[in-house]
Structure 1
Amino acid sequence: MTALVSEASPHAAFPEAALSPLAELVAAHGTRFILATFVDMNGKPCAKLVPVSALAELEAGKLGFAGYAAGLMGQKPQDGDLCAVPDPASFTPLDVVRPGLALVHCDPHVDGKPWPYAPRVILKNALARLAARGMSAKAGAEVEYYLVNKADDGTLVTADSKDDGPHPCYDARGVTRMYEHLTAISEAMNGLGWGNYANDHEDGAGQFEQNFDYDDALVTADRVVTLRYLLNVLAEQRGMTATFMPKPFTNRTGTGLHFHLSLWDGQDGALFPGPGGDTHGLGFTDTAYGFIGGILEHAPALQAFLAPTVNSYKRTGATTTESGATWSTNKASYGGNDRTHMIRVPDANRIELRSGDGSANPYLAIAATISAGLDGIERSLDPGSPCGPGERKPDAHVLPATLLHAVEALRRDPFMLAALSGSEQVGRYYADAKEEEFLSWHNQVSDWEVGRYLTAV
């Protein structure tokens, strides 16, 4: 490939016979620039804007990042470059953002090897462990978010000033007022073939959710990252901020990131439903019950990945909201079609994991959950009978009360500590970073403390 691309014909540099899979996609979509993207362990999207004239360098893994500067990536300032290796299967045209722009998800490498601290690499490693047992995973994701602005005094307010009622869920008027934003996102998803099937006002004033079809677990994780990017950028274009913060408002419902998960025999044979042998009445096989058993067994440690911020525990610890429900659980329970449990079983084909929130890194959350579930399958763990509506079993694990409690639970769980790329070193690095995050917050004097203690004694 030549290094020069004419402005009039941006793909003349790629002789047809020499096109790589990524170059074919670039040519077919009229792409001029690529966002070569990966996320750090906190989920922050990192990218370089690459002109198609440099596509060969990108494909060769020559696009280097200073890993320490990128974020939580397991590097120090003196370490060598993270080199972004693109996955052509993740190519996503983003003409809705800028004409000629596309995004491709990348796997960071160091010294020619996949970097074990990279979240996408971690999920691929977890899926490889499944594949070694003849299984694959599919996932769906419910992406919730708030649309907000900052008032002159710095406080958060809903972007739609008329959206201020205590019971706005599914409100047709709130959806209509945000019609341009919601339809732009919907059309973007459908244009990409994601199968957007619903867009609704959620339980909090200013809160929305937009859904797309389930797919292979890696594809869904990529799409969550891409959708967050789209939501942020398109909201900014309309003078709003889209936030996935778990609890931006004290008195409103928190923001979840619920995952629908299922296991398959290769790609075609569903492993969860099965005739006969249903020990607990939900239409499941022993494989499915073992998967649930593993998640519940490791639930306290798992929350370090599903609810990974200080703010996360303002959501799970909430006792009430304006609407009257928190829609989050603080116990590791499972039941049928009941949204008050950590694991909901809407039908015999899948489970819904409800304890994750909007700050979760989708790669780490899915990887850690699959690892926990696989441990349950291999140990034939029995989750016991499902809870009835609103029921809580006294022996169920209590979920961590704070991020520090979640870190401590992770450190006490050797299996989950080694679930990230099969290395306790990676798990300990993550745990140390999250403890530091908690202590950084804890060391700040808040308005609540001043009001409570200034003249208390």
Structure 2
Amino acid sequence: MTSVATPEVQTGQSVPAEAGRISLADIAKAHDVRFLLATFVDMTGKPCAKLVPVEAADELEAGAMGFAGYAAGLIGQKPQDSDLIAVPDLTSFTPVPFIKEGLAIIHCDPHVDGKPWPYAPRVILKNTLARLAGKGMQAKVGAEVEYFLVNKNPDGSLSTADARDDSPRPCYDARGVTRMYEHLTSISEAMNGLGWGNYANDHEDAAGQFEQNFNYADALTTADRVVTLRYILNILAEQRGMTATFMPKPFTDRTGTGLHFHLSLWSGADALFPGDDDSADDGGRGLGLSDLAYSFIGGILEHAPALQAFLAPTVNSYKRSGATTSSSGATWSPRKASFGGNDRTHMIRVPDEKRIELRSGDGSANPYLAIATAIEAGLDGVTKGSDPGAPCGPGEAREGAHLLPATLLHAVEALRRDPVILASLSGDEAIGEYYADAKEEEFLAWHNQVSDWEIRTYLTSI
């Protein structure tokens, strides 16, 4: 996000400082912004916003913008509850002139009756990061955002937006990237204009699937950027007559869409995951990690089944993780709670001694909740000194490793059995129960629909 900590911002424009304070109105005017999207997400990750003219920026900043929380979505409110008040975080100010001239996004923390609302995903992550800071640590996170570009046909089916993108193994295909040049470069230029450091744009494993990478940052900034990037991708794709979807498994025979997180812990400028020179062999594991890093991994593996309720939070998620093959020959989705070195067959990959990659999340994950619960699981491992054992080889898992849930209902049941993860949302088990109940209802709503598969299989089977 564009920094507002000093009068100089990343666009090179000067933001006026009056009496040592920079207001939201000052920042907006310095960027020629006329309207603000005051944005927050509900627990499903749906972006909710009000379009606020810059003339009302002071009211927004003062906490005068109310939302009917129950109408906004899954965010812990009933129709009779007090308004959610969107309190903007000025450090998240993001001009988006490539979408609409004079428009900016600002991420907000919902408050109710003057206090941060503990069901709000951004508030949940901030609470986790505050707990982490109390232990003298900070989290840095990178995110790999995958998505499909599709068209919806008159019969309701989906087709690849690029009709020529039909190879069973199109990953890294230079021709597919070139045909989508205008779309990919517009997203790249948007990210770089915002100072995110886009460094790669590629065709992913499935026909119609792409990934565009940006630099890691502190955990809250990265979560904000994932939400912002999804919005940017959706709008710019629509402007070109396409739909950008983060649905985990939009096509039965193709690889699904992941949302992988690269996690590391720091103390000030010191990275805490690399092992020191005196323990370079790290107990014979050979990955160069510290004891703290291994305990953090151990915590994630121990709580893996419950974590999937947040990392893979939809019915469709388990069509991806349960797939046994795809047209390319691989699913790239882990089935067990295992870890290994630079090996993409595991839930946790360790590409180097500085970070771990959590690979079991998919495109439907809410980045705030996914990051918060993963950190909470890792911290529990650090507190208990969990030992993940030795790293596993390709396709292997240690004896007793958890199987990841087979369906959303299994994930909900695992969440209810795990008191650490159930209580990890703002430290309140009731919030975890609320989320679990909502996800169970989502599963049952799907389960109660009669599908084409059932008609084909059972109509004349007896």
- After superposition, what is the alpha-carbon deviation per residue over 1:270-308, rounded to whole angstroms, capped at 9, x for unaligned? 000022331222101110001000000000000000000
Match of 2:307 among 302, 311, 314: 302
Matched, 1:125 2:127: yes
Match of 1:317 among 314, 319, 322: 322
Superposition pairs for residues 376-391 of structure 1, below 5 Å? 376-391=381-396
Aligned to 1:223: 225
Give yes or no for contact 2:342–2:351 (8 Å, CA) kept in 1: yes
Matched, 1:372 2:405: no
Q: Secondary structure of 1:391's partner? A: coil
Give the Å deviation of 1:22: 2.2
Matched, 1:181 2:183: yes
Amino acid of the structure 1 residue aligned with 2:110: P
Higher deviation after alignment, 420-429 or 392-401: 392-401
In structure 2, runs of 5+ residues without a counterpart are: 1-15
Q: Secondary structure of 1:213's partner? A: coil
TM-score w.r.t. structure 2 length? 0.95
Amino acid of the structure 2 residue aligned with 1:175: V
Amino acid of the structure 1 residue aligned with 2:130: A
* Structure 1 outlier segments of 4+, above 3 Å: 14-21
In structure 1, runs of 5+ residues without a counterpart are: 1-13
Give yes or no for contact 1:338–1:390 (8 Å, CA) kept in 2: no
Q: Secondary structure of 1:69's partner? A: helix
What value does the CA root-mean-square deviation take over the aligned residues? 1.1
Q: Secondary structure of 2:99's partner? A: coil
Q: Residues of 1 paired with 2:395 and 2:385: CA distance?
A: 27
How much identity, in percent, do the aligned residues show? 77
Amino acid of the structure 1 residue aligned with 2:456: G
Q: Residues of 1 paired with 2:176 and 2:34: CA distance?
A: 37
Match of 2:406 among 401, 408, 419: 401
Give yes or no for contact 1:260–1:350 (8 Å, CA) kept in 2: yes
244 and 193 in structure 1: CA distance in 2 versus 1, 3 angstrom threshold: same
Give yes or no for contact 1:294–1:377 (8 Å, CA) kept in 2: yes
- After superposition, what is the alpha-carbon deviation per residue over 1:212-240, rounded to whole angstroms, capped at 9, x for unaligned? 00000000000000000000000000000
Q: Secondary structure of 1:56's partner? A: helix
Aligned to 1:45: 47
Match of 2:60 among 46, 55, 58: 58
Give yes or no for contact 2:24–2:58 (8 Å, CA) kept in 1: no
Q: Residues of 1 paired with 2:397 and 2:420: CA distance?
A: 26
Q: Secondary structure of 1:96's partner? A: coil
Q: Residues of 1 paired with 2:106 and 2:206: CA distance?
A: 33
Aligned residues: 443
Q: Residues of 1 paired with 2:423 and 2:63: CA distance?
A: 28
Amino acid of the structure 1 residue aligned with 2:112: V
Give the Å deviation of 1:19: 6.0
- After superposition, what is the alpha-carbon deviation per residue over 1:168-200, rounded to whole angstroms, capped at 9, x for unaligned? 000000000000000000000000000000000
Give the Å deviation of 1:20: 3.2
Aligned to 2:343: 338
Aligned to 2:195: 193
Aligned to 2:72: 70
Aligned to 1:11: none
Amino acid of the structure 1 residue aligned with 2:233: L
Give yes or no for contact 2:389–2:398 (8 Å, CA) kept in 1: no
Give yes or no for contact 1:58–1:84 (8 Å, CA) kept in 2: yes
Aligned to 1:432: 437
- After superposition, what is the alpha-carbon deviation per residue over 1:8-56, rounded to whole angstroms, capped at 9, x for unaligned? xxxxxx9955963423321210110000000000000000000011111
Aligned to 2:239: 237
Aligned to 2:423: 418
Give the Å deviation of 1:389: 2.4
15 and 400 in structure 1: CA distance in 2 versus 1, 3 angstrom threshold: closer
Q: Residues of 2 paired with 1:328 and 1:387: CA distance?
A: 16
79 and 29 in structure 1: CA distance in 2 versus 1, 3 angstrom threshold: same
Higher deviation after alignment, 270-279 or 163-172: 270-279
Q: Residues of 2 paired with 1:391 and 1:431: CA distance?
A: 31
- After superposition, what is the alpha-carbon deviation per residue over 1:54-77, rounded to whole angstroms, capped at 9, x for unaligned? 111100111000000000010011
Q: Residues of 2 paired with 1:136 and 1:240: CA distance?
A: 39
Superposition pairs for residues 244-323 of structure 1, below 5 Å? 244-266=246-268, 268-275=269-276, 276-277=278-279, 278-279=282-283, 280-323=285-328
Aligned to 1:33: 35
Q: Secondary structure of 2:349's partner? A: strand
Q: Secondary structure of 2:363's partner? A: coil
TM-score w.r.t. structure 1 length? 0.96
Q: Secondary structure of 1:370's partner? A: helix
Aligned to 2:82: 80
Aligned to 1:7: none
Q: Residues of 1 paired with 2:331 and 2:243: CA distance?
A: 23
Q: Secondary structure of 1:46's partner? A: strand
- After superposition, what is the alpha-carbon deviation per residue over 1:394-442, rounded to whole angstroms, capped at 9, x for unaligned? 3110000000000000000011100000000100000000000000000
Q: Secondary structure of 1:247's partner? A: coil
Give the Å deviation of 1:154: 1.6
Q: Residues of 2 paired with 1:434 and 1:395: CA distance?
A: 27
Give yes or no for contact 1:333–1:343 (8 Å, CA) kept in 2: yes
395 and 47 in structure 1: CA distance in 2 versus 1, 3 angstrom threshold: same
Q: Residues of 1 paired with 2:56 and 2:196: CA distance?
A: 29
Give the Å deviation of 1:335: 0.1
Aligned to 1:104: 106
Q: Residues of 2 paired with 1:131 and 1:15: CA distance?
A: 29
Q: Residues of 1 paired with 2:91 and 2:309: CA distance?
A: 30
